[in-house]
Chains A and B, each alone.
Chain A
């Protein structure tokens, strides 16, 4: 089984290559120019451009044709699992699904992961590992189903502006317009950005994130986690160090946020994704 995903998974290139994952890029539009996520523009270059402009970036899903080309290239010999960003955040799964409907001869499962970024990345990576180990299709799909309900994503941003302007603020809309400076602790719950807590101060924010991961961990089981961040890696470093000290924590990877997620969350975002090993 071949695993296909979209560029919002924010997986490090090394792992993508190691596990033969195919990534279909979304497109970022800034000013009058558009760039394919990761292919045309590196994250660091994008953060620099964002800091120099007043414009807010927008994004665009891959076309049906983009998916058709990728699916056709793989062809009939292999089944395909196409795992994507939440349908409530992007029409990417719709493009993938429309493409899959045009190829009745190829076995394609299009699955909406109900999450994105580091959450999608962890699910894709586990699925690709299972596929590489020779697991059968049904086992991989069962694994993905389980991870969709178990993988948690918590994140924060310095400002809600990007989430608001890009229309992806979801239920965290309730936090917009707050006159005091708050550090919003956010999560992705069933496909939507959801507010968890309104926190005053960055040290308290990191402490709460740590507390939540520890609360979710079961005794003696390993918590597998990954981190993504935009311009500032510092909170991620602190969080990772503290988690390793206080529980059985395995950091699977850490990576810069890609340009599509940065467009909607802003360059100050950072996130942790994790799940408890069975």
Chain B
């Protein structure tokens, strides 16, 4: 917990109706110091425009050099102080919020008549002019950010200053309005609501105001937030006003940037137009990308055209309560798995629905049909992952009206390898081809305990022996698990293309046992990487995939 301490000279410097240079200097430093103390929180709030967690750092660095300079300017006039702050924040502005903040400060320097002190109305006007500058400076003014909060704060300040001249009171009403505005940012910017946060830059501005007000009142402030750092991960918006993110580079244009910006404004929002005359980069969110490009063609040559469907891209939310796991695509993948551990692995690899059989039976045709009918897409890819389930899968696909493609995976090793070959940006035919091909690149083995005496070709098995199967046939029979593992893997390995051994242990095996087996395998097969996972299958003790 951090506490900011304020000293006692505020009353002399900032009387109720006026603020001189010294008052502004101290108040600014107090605001900057409070913002700096809270920069970690700002970093964590940062999800927009790029969730890279650096807003706090950027804002704090934007202010740092100004406060350094102010430290020694004890006898400076208000005008000198304003000029110093405006210059230093502009030169050191970092990040969107930093740039916007520097423009707000720059607004105060536009009050050319100011020399030695501020009244309420001057402060309100400075804030208003700063707001206008900020909106002009960014090519993409987005509401629900620091811009909105600054604008509403300046409106409130103007309203107050028309009839009053009490700086303390004004700061109180402005801060109240700023906080209300801050609380509304998630409503205005859906990405914030999805992440459950307020806008980080706007919060930074509120900290600045809080720090200033606390200075004027002589209060101590304490940080009270305790944010979950994982709060903002994996959460992106779904309902978008504009569906297509369209970006391109306009070359060979005779027009300048303001002209192009004007032409593009009507087509959507989040418009960014930057660059130089022979290379203008345009970014816009729009519902009519073809019209945007047609317009661009009239004024130059658009190259590096990129159009993304954000509605598809942004369905990222992992909702574990739902039976179907959403991913970014128009195909649903349905699979069966022999156990709960393998189901979790398949979902982590992008499967939407995984059916798990129980001890005595595999998923039925009607369960498969239910899964197909409940899938959110009409295009389905189905992995049986078991030779014995292929007939049921075929039957289910014939009954449903949906477009079902089956990858005839005969075991779970094939299923997982085929799933890994699925690519988001490939079309269905190419994916089907790649997945069908990939399933041939993995070898599947099983290890389990024999429940009766038997003979398979050359291999003689006694009840309770540990047997190893490769490709469905019994190949080894040993008295203990580790011998069975070593013999079976030796039988399966052919060349150095076989470089990863994955072991999935079943429901009847405890994890310590499985760990010992994996260690024994690792010390024998030095050329291969060994991975051990809980598979949870009932029908055998261990599954081995070799690829």
Q: Would you call A168 and B529 a contact (CB within 8 A)?
A: no
Once bound together, how far apart are the Cα atoms of A267 and B533, in whole Å? Answer: 27
The tally of CB-CB contacts under 8 A between chains A and B is: 118
Once bound together, how far apart are the Cα atoms of A97 and B416, in whole Å? Answer: 47
Q: Which of B343-351, B465-473, B475-483 participates in binding chain A? A: B343-351
SS class of chain A's interface: helix, strand, loop or mixed?
A: mixed
Q: Which residues on A sit within 8 Å (CB–CB) of B75?
A: none
Q: Which residues on B sit within 8 Å (CB–CB) of A181?
A: 500, 529, 531
- Given contacts A65-B92, A145-B251, A167-B53, are A182 and B345 in contact (CB under 8 A)? no
Q: Would you call A149 and B275 a contact (CB within 8 A)?
A: no
Q: Which residues on A sit within 8 Å (CB–CB) of B96?
A: 91
B281 within 8 A of A: yes
- Pick the residue among A61, A166, A177, A179 that contacts B94 (CB under 8 A): A61
Q: Which residues on A sit within 8 Å (CB–CB) of B348?
A: 177-180
Residue of A nearest to B93 (CB): A64
Q: Would you call B500 and A201 a contact (CB within 8 A)?
A: yes
- Pick the residue among A87, A108, A178 that contacts B281 (CB under 8 A): A87
Which B85-112 residues have a C-beta within 8 angstroms of A? 90-96, 99
Which B270-296 residues have a C-beta within 8 angstroms of A? 274-276, 278-279, 281
Q: Which residues on A sit within 8 Å (CB–CB) of B276?
A: 100, 108-110
Once bound together, how far apart are the Cα atoms of A181 and B416, in whole Å? Answer: 12
B58 within 8 A of A: yes
Q: Which residues on B sit within 8 Å (CB–CB) of A173?
A: 316
Q: Would you call B57 and A58 a contact (CB within 8 A)?
A: yes
Once bound together, how far apart are the Cα atoms of A269 and B248, in whole Å? Answer: 29
Interface size for B (C-beta < 8 A) is 53
Interface size for A (C-beta < 8 A) is 51
Q: Would you call B279 and A145 a contact (CB within 8 A)?
A: yes
Q: Which residues on A sit within 8 Å (CB–CB) of B349?
A: 178-180
Which B349-390 residues have a C-beta within 8 angstroms of A? 349-350
B52 within 8 A of A: yes
SS class of chain B's interface: helix, strand, loop or mixed?
A: mixed
Q: Which residues on B sit within 8 Å (CB–CB) of A145?
A: 249, 251, 279, 303
- Pick the residue among A64, A141, A180 that contacts B278 (CB under 8 A): A141
A111 within 8 A of B: yes
Q: Would you call B304 and A114 a contact (CB within 8 A)?
A: yes
Once bound together, how far apart are the Cα atoms of A182 and B496, in whole Å? Answer: 18
- Given contacts A87-B281, A198-B420, are A149 and B303 in contact (CB under 8 A)? yes
- Pick the residue among A68, A109, A200 that contacts B500 (CB under 8 A): A200
CB distance from B412 to the nearest CB of A (A): 12
Q: Which residues on B sit within 8 Å (CB–CB) of A44?
A: none
Q: Would you call A63 and B278 a contact (CB within 8 A)?
A: no
- Pick the residue among A167, A196, A200 that contacts B51 (CB under 8 A): A167
- Pick the residue among B92, B275, B328 that contacts A174 (CB under 8 A): B328
B424 within 8 A of A: yes
Q: Would you call A200 and B99 a contact (CB within 8 A)?
A: no
A195 within 8 A of B: yes
- Pick the residue among A58, A64, A196 that contacts B90 (CB under 8 A): A64
- Given contacts A112-B281, A174-B350, A179-B533, are A202 and B499 in contact (CB under 8 A)? yes
Q: Would you call A190 and B420 a contact (CB within 8 A)?
A: no
Q: Would you call A182 and B279 a contact (CB within 8 A)?
A: no
Which A80-113 residues have a C-beta within 8 angstroms of B? 87-88, 91, 93-95, 97-98, 100, 108-112
Residue ranges of A at the interface with B (Cβ–Cβ < 8 Å): 29, 58, 60-61, 63-65, 68, 87-88, 91, 93-95, 97-98, 100, 108-112, 114, 141, 145, 148-149, 166-168, 171, 173-174, 177-182, 190, 194-204
